[in-house]
Amino acid sequence: MSQQLDNLLALLDKVRRTGPDSYLACCPAHEDHHPSLTISEKDESIVLHCFAGCKTESVLSAIGLSFSDLYPPRQHHGKPNRRPFPAADILRALAFEVLIVAQAGRMLLEKRPYTEADQERLVTAAHRIQSALSAGRINHA
């Protein structure tokens, strides 16, 4: 018997075992003189059914529980380490931005003036390269 099932049964009246993993009890959601609530445990989860028609939410609310109390506690092993973008996509984006920077360098060597649009695009390329480094978790000196 799981801890969740043990806790639930302790809150109910006239509980009796009806099978290996099943019980019958009075439903706390209505005036129940003869047990009409079945409780069973399947695959580490608890299933409730009131033959008088009470909803599971009403049954749980009447004894101060919630749906999460019917399931085993979640196992948290920390946040999965996941890259937001595939490395190939980051490399393709980087390659394009590097071409922009190379073209700006070529214009500088040829002493051709930058337009305002050229300057804005060069700044955008620098930001995108920095973002790609961060997204790829690449540390640079």
The pLDDT tens digits of the residues spanning 65-90 come to: 888 888 887 776 666 666 566 777 77
Q: At what angle do helices 116-135 and 87-109 cross, to 10 degrees?
A: 150
What rounded mean pLDDT belongs to the chain?
84
Element (H, E) at 80: none
pLDDT at 141: 45
Does position 138 have pLDDT exceeding 80, yes or no?
Answer: no
Does position 50 have pLDDT exceeding 50, yes or no?
Answer: yes
* DSSP letter (8 states) at residue 74: P
* β-strand partners of 42: 45
Selected residue with higher pLDDT from 77 and 60: 60
Helix then strand count (H, E) for the chain reads 4, 4
pTM of the model: 0.52
Give Cβ neighbours of residue 62 (< 8 Å, ≥ 6 apart). Answer: 28, 29
Return the CATH number of the domain spanning residue range 3-70: 3.90.580.10
Domain positions in the chain are 3-70, 87-135
